[in-house]
């Protein structure tokens, strides 16, 4: 308890907390885009519940991982060496998660681009739209993003209370943003393609990180922000054209 009081009086601890909350929220965006795309394939009555369960599981996993912090730190020690690089459990988790993301995003892009492919869609649709399958996939990715986010937290501050508060705040932000984000993605079909492209990029980044190539996150998020801005401009110009057409018909 004294430790927490001492931390509350330490300005450096507050700076660490704010920085970490921002980092965790940013890392949560990747998680949230995936949850939104996956839950939008479910029947409308199950979507909100699936998002809540998915984000609840993300919180449970992150807090669970914080409880095993000594073990988490060991995840970064190399287990075996290949191609001159020592692979740790963290690397293997990131590579597996990255491959899963790239596969999932490619499959979804294929569904969106090729509407004639009904046979695959029937099977893929049936699999993706079952509640348990969606939760299972969210759970898998929650684990990958949670390991990434907790190792980031450990790298930024040695204080467990700060990590716990940052994780809880970031997940609360995810909960608040989940429905608006998912609805926005659903209302604007072109955004789906952009979000899937983001997932492919995030997947590729995770694979690269696992292979030992450090990709500065700033570059990735700058590219995402730029393409999102271009998409917003496209949407604005489409709306303007539609209005103009509507006015011309009147």
- Average pLDDT for consecutive 10-residue bins of the chain (250 residues)? 67 77 77 82 85 86 77 70 74 81 81 62 51 83 77 70 83 87 80 80 82 77 82 84 77
Q: What is the Cα–Cα distance from 238 to 140, expressed in whole angstroms?
A: 37
Q: Are 112 and 118 in contact (CB under 8 A)?
A: no
Q: pLDDT, tens digit, for every residue of 140-154?
A: 888 877 777 777 777
Phi, psi of 81 (to 5 degrees): -115, 140
> Model-level pTM greater than 0.75?
no
Compute the distance between CA of residue 194 and CA of residue 209 in angstroms, rounded to an integer. 22
pLDDT for res 126: 47
Position 124 scores a pLDDT of: 46
Around 107, how many Cα atoms within 13 Å sit in the side-chain half-sphere?
15
83: left (phi over 0), alpha (psi -120 to 50) or beta: left
Structure tokens at 95: 């590579």
Q: What is the pLDDT of residue 36?
A: 85
Helix (H) or strand (E) holding 85: strand 85-88
* Residue-level pLDDT at 16: 76
């Amino acid at each position: 308890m004294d430790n927490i009081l001492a931390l509350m009086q330490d300005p450096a601890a507050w700076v660490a907390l704010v920085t970490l909350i921002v980092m965790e929220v940013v890392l949560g965006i990747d998680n949230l885009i995936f949850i939104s795309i996956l839950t939008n394939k479910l029947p409308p009555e199950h979507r909100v519940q699936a998002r809540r369960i998915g984000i609840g599981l993300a919180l449970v996993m992150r807090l669970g991982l914080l409880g095993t912090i000594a073990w988490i730190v060991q995840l970064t020690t190399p287990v075996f060496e290949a191609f001159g690089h020592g692979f740790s459990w963290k690397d293997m988790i990131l590579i597996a998660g990255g491959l899963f993301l790239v596969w999932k995003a490619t499959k979804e892009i294929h569904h969106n681009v090729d509407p004639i492919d009904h046979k695959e869609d029937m099977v893929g649709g049936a699999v993706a739209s079952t509640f348990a399958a969606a939760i299972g996939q969210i759970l898998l990715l929650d684990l990958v993003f949670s390991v990434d986010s907790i190792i980031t937290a450990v790298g930024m501050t040695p204080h467990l209370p700060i990590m716990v508060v940052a994780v809880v705040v970031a997940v609360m932000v995810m909960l608040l943003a989940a429905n608006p984000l998912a609805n926005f993605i659903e209302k604007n079909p072109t955004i789906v393609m952009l979000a899937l492209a983001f997932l492919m990029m995030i997947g590729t980044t995770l694979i690269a990180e696992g292979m030992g190539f450090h990709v500065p996150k700033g570059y990735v998020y700058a590219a995402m922000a730029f393409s999102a801005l271009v998409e917003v401009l496209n949407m604005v110009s489409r709306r303007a054209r539609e209005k103009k057409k509507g006015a011309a018909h009147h």
